[in-house]
Amino acid sequence: MNKMNRYLVSSVLSGMLLLSGPQAMAKGEPMYDFLPSDTVIDNVKNNLQSHGVDVSNLQVDADAQGVVQLRGEVASKQEVESITQIAKQSEGVYAVLGALRYETGEVVPAPVPEGIDPMMDAPAAGNEATQQQIDAQ
């Protein structure tokens, strides 16, 4: 009979646990408490500033579910990654989307000799044979 009592008690406890979940949801209790978007924005900016990031060139937006959008110009790829990680660690942030830009360096085109039109005088791609080689054949 002792074994039967254990099964009965465990069945009752399991049933109570299963029923408590739907009751909590029926009461309208959220599974995750979202912070207001203004609060999330302030948290992200304060967290970035506390890590020495200049937020004057950054635009921080957030929606009602804690998704943060970062926009602006930064110095390097490492700074993009650092700012994104700091923002993710801020209170109320669920996800971070970034549109941060950085310059990789100025691309300087090669100089074109005088009298040559680079579009018209360039050899066709894949055509290594010159006119002299064709005439020699």
What's this model's pTM, rounded to 2 decimal places?
0.55
Q: Residues 80-127: pLDDT tens digits?
A: 999 999 999 999 999 998 888 887 765 556 565 666 565 555 555 555
Phi then psi for residue 8, to 5 deg, are -65, -45
Q: What is the rounded CA–CA span in Å between residue 69 and residue 44?
A: 11
State residue 34's pLDDT score: 85
Q: Which string of DSSP letters, residue by residue, matches 8-42?
A: HHHHHHHHHHHHHHHHHHHTT--SS-PPPHHHHHH
Q: Residues 46-59: pLDDT tens digits?
A: 999 999 999 998 99
Where do we find the tokens 């002792």? 2
